Amino acid sequence: MYRKVALWASLALLSFAAGLTLAWHHPIWPVAALGFFYLVCIANAWWPGIWLLAVPAALPWLNFSPWTGWLIFDEFDLLLLGVFAGAYCGLAWSAYNAVATRSIAIGKVKQHQARQSDIAFVILITAVAVLGVVGLVRGFRDADGFTFGWFQGYTDPLNSLRVFKSLLFGLLTLPLLRVEMRVSRTRASNRLALGMVLGLASVSLAALWERAAYPGIFDFSTVYRITALFWEMHVGGGAIDAYLAMAMPFVLWALATARGPLRWGLSAALALFSVYACLTTFSRGVYLAVALSLILAVLLWRMQTQITDDGAWLTATQAGARKSRRRAGATWLLGLVVVILIGAVFTEGTLGMGRFSKSEKDFNGRMARWQEGVNLLDSSSRWLFGLGLGRLPANYAQRIPKQAGEFSGRVQMHEDVPGTASRRQYVTLFGPATRPNLQGLFALTQRVDIDASRGYRIGLDIRSPIGARVVVQLCERHLLYDWDCQDAYVQAGALPGQWQHWVAQLSGAPLSSGRWYAPRLGMLAISVLDSGRSVDFNNVSLTADDGRELLTNGDFSSSLAHWFPAAQYYFLPWHIDNLYLEVLIERGVTGALVFAVLILWTLMRLLSTSGRALSLSPYLAASLGGALSVGTVSSVMDVPRVAFLLLLLVFFALQLTSQEKRPASTDL
C-alpha cells in the first residue's frame, strides 16, 4: 500500500509540474492559465469524480489555437493535467489514510485477488502502453531525433508527442475510473453521459452561430461546411465528424432519462440542433455513422429493457404513454421537424445532393490515397511497428510523388544573429514545392477585429532569394472559408540577403463584423503565390484608419504566438482519411492488432448479457460503433482531443463492465 501511495503522489506531482510549466509558457494568457490550472487542481482534489462531467463537457471548445498559435499543446491539456494533479493527490491522501486504519496483510490479499481477476485487462493495457511508447520513440527517430519547441508543427519531432498524448492521458484515467466505479457505477455513468450531452450542446450552438454568421442558417446551397470549434481542422480532416459520431447516441440517453417537461424539452431541442449540426457538416461519413449509431442505440436499449424488466417494459411504456400524451405528441412533432430538416438539406441543387453525386469519384480518389499510404510501409520494421506516431504527414509529403502528395505550403521560424548583432527573429513562408494549382491555399494567419467603417493598411518587411509574389488578405473568416475580403498584392524582389519594406492599402468590399447575435470573426492571411518559392517576413503591421495597430507579435519576437497556419480546400498530405490505415501506417501490424483487440473486447463486454443490463451500455456501444463507422472514411487518432475521447469511452466501458464489486474503502 505504501508503494501505491508513492505512485499516486508521484503522478500528482508530475502532472502538477507539467501543468505548471505549460501554463507558465502560455503564449498570450499565462496568468489566466495559471489561475485556471490551480482551480482545476483544487476542484478535482476536493470533489472526486467531477472530472467525468467536466472533461467531456469542455472537450469540444477548450482549445484556442487560432489565438495562441500552439499546435502541439492546448488548453485542454491544461485541464487534463489539472484533473490528474488534483485527483491523484486525493487518491494518495485516501490511500495513506487507508494504510493507517487497517492491516497491510489484508490489503495484500485483496491486491492479489484483484490481479487474478484483471490479468487479461492488465496484459492488454500493458501492450497498448508499450506499443504507444515504441511508436513515440520511432516517431522521434524518423524525425531525426528529439528537439523541443513550443511552436513546432506537423512535420516536426513533437508531432509524435502530440499524437501520443491522447494515449498517455487516456491511460492516466484508468485508475481514476476504477475508483469511480467502486464508489458508484450509476453516478459515474450519469456524469459521463451528462458531460457528453453538454459537450454536444456546445458544438450544436457553435454550429448554429457559424451558420448564422456566414452563409445563413437555412442556406443549404452555398459551399460551406461547419467546423464548429475544432480548430484542428485548419488542415482539414474529420475531427468534427468523429466527435459527432461518438456524441450523438447520448442525445437518446438525454431523451430516455428526462424527468419532467423542462428537461425533456431541453433534450428535444438538443436533438434538433445536433441533427442540424450533423447535416451541415455535409459529410457522407457523418450521415452514415450517426444513422447507424442511433439505430444501434435503439436496438440495444430495447434488448436492455427486455433483460432488466423481463418483458414488463411494454406495459410500463404503454402506461407511461397514457399518462403523458403531450410528451408522445411532442415526440412525433420532433420527429416530423427532423424529417423536414433532412428533406430541406437534400432538395435539388443543395450542397447535400451535390456531395452525394460525387461519391464515386471521391471514393476512387480515397482508394488511390490509401494505397499510396500503405506503400510507405516499405520495410519489415515499418510493417511491424509503423512509421512512428505523427509521422504520416511528413512521410506522405516527402515520399509520395510530387504531383500527388506535396504540401500546399509551410512555415518555419528563423533567427538572425550575425556577429554581435542583437537577436532577431523572422518567419519564412513557403509556397507549394512544384504544383501551381496549390498556390495561395496555405497561409499564415492571425485573428483581427474587423469593422465596416474602417480602412486597413498593411506594412511588412520581406526578403526573398529569387523573388516571389505575396498576397495579403483580410477576410471575414471562421476557419476554412473566406467570406468578404480585402487584399493587397506584393512583389518580393530577387534581392538575396536584403530586406525590403512594403506598405499598401487593402482594397475590396467593406467588411462586416456581423449581427450582434452572430458576430463574424476576422482573419489576416499571408500567402506565397509562386510554387518553389519562399519569402521571409518581419515587422508585419496592420493599421486602421485611425492609426491603431491591430496585430500582435508582428515582429515575431515571441516566435509564432498569435500566428496560426491554415490551409484551404486541399488537405491531402495531412490525413489518410481512414482510422484503420492510420493506425496501421503509424503503429504497424502489431499496433493495429492490439488496437483491434482492445475495441473488439470492449464491444464484446458491452454486448454480453451482463453488459447489456447496464444502463449506459447501449449508448456506449452505439458511440463506439459510430466511431468505427466514421473511421472508414476519416482519420481519428491524429486529433488528440477526439482520440482521447475515443479512448476515454473505451476505458470507461471496460471499467463499467468489470465484474469487480469491491467497495471503495478496500483498496485504493
Average pLDDT estimate for 267-289 = 95
Strands 514-515 and 518-519: antiparallel
Regarding predicted confidence, which is higher, 417 or 74? 74
Residue 610's pLDDT band (boundaries 50, 70, 90)?
confident
Residue 381 and residue 336 share a domain: yes
Average pLDDT estimate for 646-662 = 85
Cβ atoms 241, 226 nearer than 8 A: no
Percent of the chain residues past pLDDT 90, beyond the cut: 73
Helix/strand/coil (H/E/C) assignment for every residue in 507-523:
EECCCCCEECCEECCEE
Orientation angle between helical segments 313-323 and 325-345, nearest 10 degrees: 90
- Residue 145's CB: how many other CB atoms inside 10 A? 8
pLDDT digits (tens, 9 = 90+) for 448-493: 999 877 899 999 999 998 989 999 999 999 999 999 999 999 998 8
Residue 363 and residue 278 share a domain: yes
pLDDT digits (tens, 9 = 90+) for 252-270: 999 999 888 899 999 999 9
With respect to residue 13, please indicate whether it lies within any of the assigned structural domains.
no
Instruction: For residue 427, list its beta bridge partners.
Output: 413, 537
Residue 431 and residue 377 share a domain: no
**pLDDT confidence of residue 318:** 46
Grid cell, residue 275, equals: 441533427
Regarding predicted confidence, which is higher, 110 or 194? 194
Cβ atoms 448, 553 nearer than 8 A: no
Q: Quick check: 312 pLDDT over 70?
A: no
Instruction: For residue 542, list its beta bridge partners.
Output: 458
Among 569, 526, 575, which Cα is nearest to 437's?
Answer: 569
**pLDDT confidence of residue 660:** 55
Among 271, 321, 256, which Cα is nearest to 615's?
Answer: 256
Task: Please say which residue of 553, 569, 585 terminates a domain.
Answer: 569
**pLDDT confidence of residue 597:** 96
Residue 488 and residue 392 share a domain: no
* Rounded Cα distance, 105 and 99, in Å: 10
Residue 353's pLDDT band (boundaries 50, 70, 90)?
confident
Q: Quick check: 634 pLDDT over 90?
A: yes
Q: Quick check: 518 pLDDT over 80?
A: yes
**pLDDT confidence of residue 93:** 85
What letter does residue 576 receive in the DSSP assignment?
-
Contacts of 497 (CB under 8 A, 6+ apart): 463
With respect to residue 81, please indicate whether it lies within any of the assigned structural domains.
no
Among 139, 237, 141, 74, which Cα is nearest to 641's?
Answer: 74
What letter does residue 495 receive in the DSSP assignment?
-
**C-alpha of 164 from chain center:** 13
Q: What angle do CA 163, 197, 180 make, to 5 degrees?
A: 70
With respect to residue 27, please indicate whether it lies within any of the assigned structural domains.
no
Residue 290 and residue 247 share a domain: yes
Cβ atoms 177, 188 nearer than 8 A: yes
Task: Please say which residue of 550, 569, 588 terminates a domain.
Answer: 569
Backbone angles phi, psi at 442, to 5 degrees: -140, 135
- Residue 616's CB: how many other CB atoms inside 10 A? 23
Residue 603 and residue 503 share a domain: no
- Residue 191's CB: how many other CB atoms inside 10 A? 21
Grid cell, residue 94, equals: 485516501
Residue 510 sits in a domain of what CATH number? 2.60.120.260
Lowest mean pLDDT segment, chosen from 70-84, 384-398, 495-509, 619-633: 495-509
Strands 534-544 and 482-492: unpaired
Residue 242 and residue 129 share a domain: yes
Helical spans, DSSP H, in 59-118: 65-68, 75-100, 104-117
Residue 265 and residue 394 share a domain: yes
With respect to residue 516, please indicate whether it lies within any of the assigned structural domains.
yes
pLDDT digits (tens, 9 = 90+) for 196-228: 999 999 999 999 999 999 999 999 999 999 999
User: Number of structural domains, the chain?
Assistant: 2
Backbone angles phi, psi at 221, to 5 degrees: -100, -35
- Residue 430's CB: how many other CB atoms inside 10 A? 19
Q: Is the dihedral of CA 133, 139, 144, 147 positive or negative?
A: negative
Q: What angle do CA 42, 48, 50 make, to 5 degrees?
A: 85
pLDDT digits (tens, 9 = 90+) for 157-166: 999 999 999 9
Among 100, 128, 14, which Cα is nearest to 650's?
Answer: 128
**Residue carrying C-alpha cell 458576430:** 519
Among 658, 663, 636, which Cα is nearest to 647's?
Answer: 636
- Residue 40's CB: how many other CB atoms inside 10 A? 25
Cβ atoms 52, 191 nearer than 8 A: yes
Instruction: Note if the pTM is more than 0.85.
Output: yes
**pLDDT confidence of residue 306:** 66
Regarding predicted confidence, which is higher, 141 or 356? 141
Residue 659's pLDDT band (boundaries 50, 70, 90)?
low
Residue 583 and residue 502 share a domain: no
Q: Is the dihedral of CA 583, 71, 363, 396 positive or negative?
A: negative
Q: Quick check: 308 pLDDT over 60?
A: no
Residue 556 and residue 608 share a domain: no
Q: Quick check: 305 pLDDT over 90?
A: no
Residue 428 and residue 542 share a domain: yes
Average pLDDT estimate for 376-401 = 93
Q: Quick check: 558 pLDDT over 90?
A: yes
558-581 per-residue burial string, b: 16 or more CB within 10 A, e: under 16: bbbbbbbbbbbebbbbbbbbbbbb
* Rounded Cα distance, 549 and 547, in Å: 6
Q: CA 95 → CA 98, 130, 664, 666, distances in Å? A: 5, 27, 11, 10
Grid cell, residue 148, equals: 523541443
**pLDDT confidence of residue 259:** 86
Grid cell, residue 616, equals: 449506459
Average pLDDT estimate for 508-528 = 94
Among 587, 583, 592, 652, which Cα is nearest to 617's?
Answer: 652
Residue 348's pLDDT band (boundaries 50, 70, 90)?
confident
Three-class DSSP category at 409: coil
Q: Quick check: 400 pLDDT over 90?
A: no
**pLDDT confidence of residue 356:** 81
Question: What number of residues does the chain have?
Answer: 668
Look over the chain and give the mean of its residue pLDDT values, rounded to a whole number: 89
Q: Quick check: 145 pLDDT over 50?
A: yes
Task: Please say which residue of 569, 586, 602 terminates a domain.
Answer: 569
- Residue 221's CB: how many other CB atoms inside 10 A? 14
Average pLDDT estimate for 306-314 = 47
Q: Quick check: 112 pLDDT over 70?
A: no
Residue 349 and residue 239 share a domain: yes
For residue 115, the one-letter residue type is: R
Residue 316's pLDDT band (boundaries 50, 70, 90)?
very low
Average pLDDT estimate for 59-80 = 97
For residue 11, the one-letter residue type is: L
**In the sheet where 522-528 sits, what is the strand order?**
507-508, 482-492, 468-477, 522-528, 442-448, 564-567
Phi-psi region of 290 (alpha: psi -120 to 50; beta: other; left: phi over 0): alpha
Q: Quick check: 73 pLDDT over 70?
A: yes
What residues make up the domain containing 477? Answer: 409-569
**Residue carrying C-alpha cell 481542422:** 233
With respect to residue 602, please indicate whether it lies within any of the assigned structural domains.
yes
Q: CA 164 → CA 60, 129, 159, distances in Å? A: 19, 10, 9
* Rounded Cα distance, 606 and 299, in Å: 13
**pLDDT confidence of residue 325:** 67
